[in-house]
Structure 1
Amino acid sequence: MSGNTSNSCIEALEPSNRFLVSAVVYGLVLAVGLPLNTVSLWILLRSHGLRSSCAVLMVNLAASDMLLALSLPLRVYFYATLQWPFGVGTCTAAIMLFRINIRTSCIFITLISVDRLVALVFPLRSRSLRTTACACKCCAVVWVLIILLCIPEIIRLHNSLRECTYNTPCFEFQVLPKSSPISAFAVGQAIFLLILLVVNIVSTVVVIVALRKRPSTGAAKVNNKMNVILIFAVNMLVFMIFFLPFTLQLLKTQDKEGTFLRAFICLASVNCCLDPLIYYFSLDSFWQDKGKRQTDKGTYSLSRTTERFQVAGNS
Structure 2
Amino acid sequence: MATLQNCSHVSDFQYTLYSSTYIIIFIPGLLANSVACWVLCSLTSKKNKAIIFMINLSLADLAHVLSLPLRIYYYTNHTWPFKNFLCLMCFYLKYLNMYASIIFLMLISVQRYVFTTNPFRAKDWKRRYDITISFVVWIVVGLSCLPFPLLRSSGLNNTSTACFADLGMKTLSVVPALCMLTVAELAGFIIPVTVIAFCTLKTRAQLTNKILHFQNMNEKRKALRLVVTCAALFFVCFAPYHINFFFYMLINLNVIKNCTVHKVILTFHPFSICLASFNCCLDPILYYFTASEFKNEVVRHGSTVIRGRLMSRESRESSFKE
Q: Same fold (TM over 0.5)?
A: yes
The answer on 1:271 being equivalent to 2:279 is yes
Question: Which one of 103, 106, 110 corresponds to residue 110 of structure 1?
Answer: 106
Equivalent residue runs for 1:90-129 within 5 Å: 90-128=86-124
Question: Which one of 181, 184, 189 corresponds to residue 184 of structure 2?
Answer: 189
Q: Percent same amino acid at aligned positions?
A: 26
Show the counterpart of 1:286.
Answer: 294
**C-alpha separation in 2, matches of 1:79 and 1:97:** 17
The answer on 1:139 being equivalent to 2:134 is yes
Gaps of 5+ in 1: 1-13, 294-315
**Shift, 1:195, TM fit:** 0.9
Show the counterpart of 1:150.
Answer: 145
1:227, 1:281 within 8 Å by CA — same for their partners in 2? no
**C-alpha separation in 2, matches of 1:290 and 1:163:** 48
What are the superposed Cα offsets for residues 79-127 of structure 1, whole Å, 9 maximum, x if unpaired? 1111111121110000001100001000000000001001111111343
Show the counterpart of 1:66.
Answer: 62
**Shift, 1:217, TM fit:** 7.3
- 1:127 aligned counterpart, secondary structure: helix
Show the counterpart of 2:307.
Answer: none
More helix by share: 2
User: Which amino acid in 1 is paired with 2:216?
Assistant: K
Give the direction of change, closer, same or farther, for the CA distance of 1:217–1:142 in structure 2 (3 Å limit).
closer
Show the counterpart of 1:170.
Answer: 164
Number of positions where the alignment pairs a residue of Structure 1 with one of Structure 2? 276
Give the direction of change, closer, same or farther, for the CA distance of 1:259–1:179 in structure 2 (3 Å limit).
farther
**C-alpha separation in 2, matches of 1:28 and 1:169:** 21
Q: What is the RMSD of the two structures over their aligned residues, measured on CA atoms? A: 2.8
The answer on 1:222 being equivalent to 2:217 is yes
Give the direction of change, closer, same or farther, for the CA distance of 1:258–1:88 in structure 2 (3 Å limit).
farther
**Shift, 1:273, TM fit:** 1.1
**C-alpha separation in 2, matches of 1:152 and 1:40:** 30
Farther-moved stretch of structure 1 (133-142 vs 145-154)? 145-154
**C-alpha separation in 1, matches of 2:244 and 2:139:** 27
TM-score scaled by structure 2? 0.77
Gaps of 5+ in 2: 1-9, 252-261, 302-322
**Shift, 1:229, TM fit:** 2.5
Farther-moved stretch of structure 1 (194-203 vs 119-128)? 119-128
TM-score scaled by structure 1? 0.78
Show the counterpart of 1:36.
Answer: 32
